[in-house]
Amino acid sequence: MSETQRLDFPKNFLWGTATAGHQIEGHNDKSDWWRFEQEGKVKDGTKTGRNIDYWNRYEEDHALMSDLGYQVFRLGVEWAKIEPEDGKFDMAAVERYRKILQSLRDRKIQICLTIYHWVLPLWFAQSGGWLREDAVDRFVRFAEVVVKELGEFPDLWVTLNEPSVPAAAGYLAGEFPPEHKNFREYGLVMNRQMHAHARTYKLIHDNVSKAPGGGPTMAGVAYAFQWIEAYGSAGLPGLYEKMMARIFSFGSYRGWNNAAATGYAPFPFGREIIPGLKDSYDFCGVNYYMRNSLKFDASKKDTGFVDMEAIPPGIEKTQMGWQIYPPGFNKILMYVWEKFKKPIYITENGIADDVDAQRPRYLLEHIAQVNRAINAGADIRGYMQWSFIDNFEWKEGFSKKFGLIECRHDDPELKRKPRPSARMYSEIIKENAITRDIVKKYAPSAADGVFGDKWKA
């Protein structure tokens, strides 16, 4: 039997990269995250400041994307820039976003636009944020400006990015703004975001009749998935791990996605029918990075007596401390496909790697899992790597480098330098396939993970 020489992707499969406004634009100084940074809450002590100045250097970045052959770019708009004061909209900021989107369109780069990616205007955050009684109304008012002013540009709309993350990290774990630790508030924030998504989805369809290419308007959520399972300890600890894995996977992604599929928000997310939530996905956005293996640890009271960061023997981890586990990607993709039977776009997948040592292998082995899911029947239409360029990685600051393009925020010239993985990704896009030649050139050790049996279990 001859060896498989290539993993081919469907014709018109869409390849690109992703970022978020606050993480690259700079000077988002009317936001809650800007305030959080000024208070010294970022681990490496950095502040976004000018960031990597995408706000002013977008033409340069778009030219680089075009040169590399990248076909789609996922980016966001910042609520705090568009509505820096309650009810006062900065149309100059809207115009800048229009120019950014037109620049992408001029280069024939498709657009996936995220309306909300965690960051709130300071006026909104300081008056209660998602806990405000009128939070959903305020959000939809902002979204209406975005949709009506910029609706001609996006090929894909993401209403919310990873809604579980600001809810859990901000209101349950106390790690992100507003640094609360309150289970009831966590459930309420998830509920409010369900309402916000449902109403924004309707808003998009009421105002945008078709995509720029003439196809149907496509809107959805980019949801954070990690494969969660028991560590596998012996005896009673192992049974406890299995129980906690079910609980954590429900809180992490199954609860939200059950609600999105049925329209009913279960406990602790409101126990109510959310008007318009059912059938509010034209596509499913999947963000995947890692597996969590929950290991019993009696000292971990705050996380239910499980160690969320335990690494099983023989499993590699990233500079974020995250497990590298490609099969989890396939499992998540098949879960999403079976749950919704809607087109899937991978809206984030990538790795923090400042020297590009792990990234080529990580990307090859994860993209191979996408190919396996497609061959198993999942309708997956595109892949957006996170991230196009090094950026501000939230509480980690600038210390963690996710970019295909290297850019040091402390470099006076902010030089953009493609890493080898950026060139590798270009070759995958050109071939619309992973080939043995690409693997041999960039990450020979990935051959068994891509073409062999290493990750098939």
Could you read off the pLDDT of 229-241 as tens digits, one per residue? 999 999 999 999 9
Please give the backbone phi and psi of residue 310, each rounded to the nearest 5 degrees, phi first: -65, 135
Place of tokens 């209660």: 128
Which band of pLDDT confidence, cut at 50, 70 and 90, is reported for residue 296?
A: very high
On whether residue 103 sits in a domain, the answer given is yes
Among 246, 266, 243, CA closest to 256: 266
The whole-chain average pLDDT of the chain stands at 96
Per the CB < 8 A criterion, the answer to whether 380 and 329 are in contact is no
Asked whether residue 369 is domain-assigned, the answer is: yes
436 occurs within a structural domain: no
CA–CA separation, 433 and 428 (whole Å): 5
The pLDDT score that the predictor gives to residue 3 is 75
Lowest-confidence segment of 49-53, 283-287, 299-303 by average pLDDT: 299-303
pLDDT band, residue 457 (cuts 50/70/90): low
Quote the CA–CA distance of 322 and 396 in Å, as a whole number: 14
Residue 447 maps to a domain: no
**Half-sphere exposure (Cβ direction) of 298: Cα atoms closer than 13 Å:** 2
pTM beyond cutoff 0.85: yes
What is the DSSP secondary structure assignment for residue 88, as one 8-state letter?
Answer: B
165 found inside a domain: yes
3-state secondary structure 319-388: CCCCECCHHHHHHHHHHHHHHHCCCEEEEECCCCCCCCCCHHHHHHHHHHHHHHHHHCCCCEEEEEEECC
Structural domain includes residue 281 = yes
**Which of 284, 357, 371, 372 has the alpha carbon at shortest distance from 324?**
357
pLDDT-derived band at 302 (thresholds 50, 70, 90) equals: confident
Count of structural domains within the chain: 1
- Asked if pLDDT for residue 455 goes beyond 80, the answer is no
- What is the crossing angle of helices 326-340 and 359-375, to 10°? 30
**Which is more confidently placed, 392 or 454?**
392
CATH (domain of 47): 3.20.20.80
| pLDDT tens digit sequence for 118-166 | 999 999 999 999 999 999 999 999 999 999 999 999 999 999 999 999 9
More confidently predicted of 252 and 158: 158
Question: Is pLDDT of 287 > 70?
Answer: yes
pLDDT for residue 350: 98
pLDDT tens across 387-399, in order?
Answer: 999 999 999 999 9
Report if residue 451 sits inside a domain: no
Calpha distance 373→330 (Å, rounded):
6
Helix (H) or strand (E) holding 124: helix 122-126
> 1: buried, middle or exposed (CB in 10 Å: 19+, 13-18, 0-12)?
exposed
User: In terms of residue numbers, what domain contains 303?
Assistant: 12-421
Query: Is the residue at 398 inside a domain?
Result: yes
Evaluate whether 3 touches 436 at the Cβ level (below 8 Å): yes
What pLDDT shows up at residue 2? 53
CB 418 within 8 A of CB 405: yes
SS3 150: helix
The residues that bridge with 111 in the sheet, in sequence order, are: 73
Nearest C-alpha neighbor of 46 from the set 434, 409, 450, 429: 409
Task: Say what the pLDDT of residue 1 is.
Answer: 37
